[in-house]
Structure 1
């Protein structure tokens, strides 16, 4: 595979992996070097600590011997200074033991260290035994024993301890030098490896830079140049690239984009004229439609006005029908009251007729009484005539009684005649009242029928009024819709004119593009 055909993703992953490996190697090498240097430093520090502790042992032993010498001198010259010198010697002696314990407690890493350390231990213990003898001699004040021990065992063990300490110092110095040489050598190796890694990193950086410049940066600059030409409307620019990676796919997409844009521009060129013609026709048609819609709106307004007048008239008729119905109902109520009054008159006439009959019966009784009184008066006159002069007064009385009876009969007859006449008139009035009551009933029936008819007329008028109001509302809504349609038509006309202007502007904007016609039709 050619390097220029290497996928950009794979290339970046490879570069990242390579640099990651370099970083990992550098980190591991640094950790190894740090660990090794720390180990060497710890070993050097251990040797230094052992050397320091052993030197402290040697120095404190010398200080203890010097203090014991002062105590020995004080035995003969200044006995009072003996105790202070012995105390100082004991303090130095204890410090020497403590330093030796620290020295002996440090682990020995090599055989030479262990061997010389063992020799130091043997000579130190022999030397401490001699020092103990000196403390004993000083404590007892035995000058002879002190001198003998100091010149004999003390001098011998001190020399042996010094030699063994020098031997350990020599071993420690040699091993310290070796460790320092190893540390310097490790540092040199690490420095060389670091320099090599830096050189390799620089080489890789240069290689990556060159590869990116050849396979990514330059193709992207070419792509930017192509896009600049396309942005300026130049669709005749040539796009050539031979790689098959993402950059090559980008150039293939740009080729397809240029071809599609060229086809779109040609299509727009061909469609703008057609759109302009259609928009112009649409604008003209919208103008005519707007005029007709306005005329229709005016007609609907006139129809709505007429319907409003008709609605007012029907509503007035309905109100009049309601008023007539109320008047008819009032007339029916009054007629009903007259019918009831006529019936009451009939009943009153019937009562008067019955009362006249009873009066006639009483008149008949009076006539009977007058007749019998007249007979009695005649009989009385006859008897008075028979009685002669003795019956004259009785005859006068009988004559007066007969006269009263005649006058009563005459009055009763006249009353009977008057009553008969009244009865005839009452019967005639009763018949007329009955006829009047019948007529009032018929009038009431007719009034009720008229009331029902007027109610039906009022209901029909109300329904007709509601229907006309609905029609009026519908016409009003139609008027509003028509006006809205007229406004929409005007807007559509304005939009068509604006679209025509936009079409012209679009045509002018598309004219910026320069297209290879052969490529556009490909």
Structure 2
């Protein structure tokens, strides 16, 4: 039918090009699948590494905060011991302690507080690194923001007031603020960190499961592609055998019979491709030889007939 591709009319060149194009397509597809797999693995690895770095720096910030807590506790203990030793101080010094105009702390307590301030600065530096790492990370559930808010609230509204109170010797205010507001802020940060850790672990688990699924998908795709390639190779072998090899063998048989003087075998032209052109040429050659042989036979018969007539007189 017109408008439809008929395999017998398909040219050998076209068929070979189609086979090469298919295998090129399979090669490009395989490379694309490999690149996609590598890209997915790289994205997952990058996300996991970012989470690990963020976990490390926020952990560093919390560790420095814990050092601040420890140093403040040591400063408080040192202050209490120092205060007990100064119970016999004069009324002027006691008034200065009550008024807070002069520092009531001993050298040891002051050293602890200064070190606590340094640890707080180190904690804030680590927290800034945490903010920089999580700035471009996906935070659809806002766990990173909640952790940041909890940390900033604790350091600005919790730790700094504690340091100021202790530095001024306001032990009662320090203990009251520590047991109420500061403790609540610390618990809030702890809860935010726990939620962030669970979120990160869930994300890592989900990433691992997706990578397993991608790996299995790639394995299935490669296996299917190999099966299709083998099938197409077999079909190409059968197709080329029918379109090229078998017609060439038949053409060779025709040539052998013609060479042996057999011009009776009919040459059929079934295609219009390169093989069909060969068969048409073979057919024309056979027809030409047949006409030549017929002419020669007619001439021989006429010569024989003329010779007989001459012989008979």
Query: What TM-score, normalized to structure 2?
Result: 0.65
What is the Cα deviation at residue 161 of structure 1?
A: 1.0
Q: CA, structure 1 residues 5+123, in 2 after alignment: closer, same or farther (shift >3 Å)?
A: closer
Where do residues 141-180 of structure 1 align in structure 2 (5 Å cutoff)? 143-180=171-208
What is the Cα deviation at residue 518 of structure 1?
A: 3.8
Is the 2:269–2:280 Cα contact (8 Å) retained in structure 1?
no
Question: 2:57 maps to which residue?
Answer: 53
1:111 to 140, 143, 147: 140
Q: CA, structure 1 residues 220+132, in 2 after alignment: closer, same or farther (shift >3 Å)?
A: same
CA distance in 2, matches of 1:33, 1:153: 51
Question: 2:147 maps to which residue?
Answer: 120
- 1:409-441 deviations in whole A, cap 9, x for unaligned? xxxxxxxxxxxxxxxxxxxxxxxxxxxxxxxxx
CA distance in 2, matches of 1:124, 1:36: 34
Pair 1:3 & 2:30 matched = no
Is the 1:61–1:93 Cα contact (8 Å) retained in structure 2?
yes
Worse-matched range after superposition: 160-169 or 29-38: 29-38
What is the Cα deviation at residue 253 of structure 1?
A: 3.6
Structure showing greater radius of gyration is 1
Worse-matched range after superposition: 188-197 or 34-43: 34-43
Q: CA, structure 1 residues 70+222, in 2 after alignment: closer, same or farther (shift >3 Å)?
A: farther
Is the 1:61–1:96 Cα contact (8 Å) retained in structure 2?
yes
Where do residues 27-66 of structure 1 align in structure 2 (5 Å cutoff)? 27-66=31-70
Is the 1:68–1:86 Cα contact (8 Å) retained in structure 2?
yes
Is the 2:110–2:167 Cα contact (8 Å) retained in structure 1?
no
Q: CA, structure 1 residues 179+521, in 2 after alignment: closer, same or farther (shift >3 Å)?
A: farther
CA distance in 1, matches of 2:197, 2:165: 33
What is the Cα deviation at residue 8 of structure 1?
A: 0.5
2:160 to 121, 129, 132: 132
Question: 1:473 maps to which residue?
Answer: none
Q: How much is the aligned-residue C-alpha RMSD, in angstroms? A: 4.0
Pair 1:184 & 2:188 matched = no
Q: CA, structure 1 residues 188+87, in 2 after alignment: closer, same or farther (shift >3 Å)?
A: farther
CA distance in 2, matches of 1:64, 1:519: 119
What is the Cα deviation at residue 208 of structure 1?
A: 0.6
Q: CA, structure 1 residues 221+132, in 2 after alignment: closer, same or farther (shift >3 Å)?
A: same
Pair 1:96 & 2:100 matched = no
Q: Of the two structures, which has the highest relative contact order with CA contacts closer than 8 Å and spacing of 6 or more?
A: 2
- Higher helix fraction (1 or 2): 1
Query: What TM-score, normalized to structure 1?
Result: 0.42
Question: 1:340 maps to which residue?
Answer: none
Pair 1:14 & 2:41 matched = no
Where do residues 241-280 of structure 1 align in structure 2 (5 Å cutoff)? 242-244=269-271, 245-254=273-282
Question: 1:68 maps to which residue?
Answer: 72
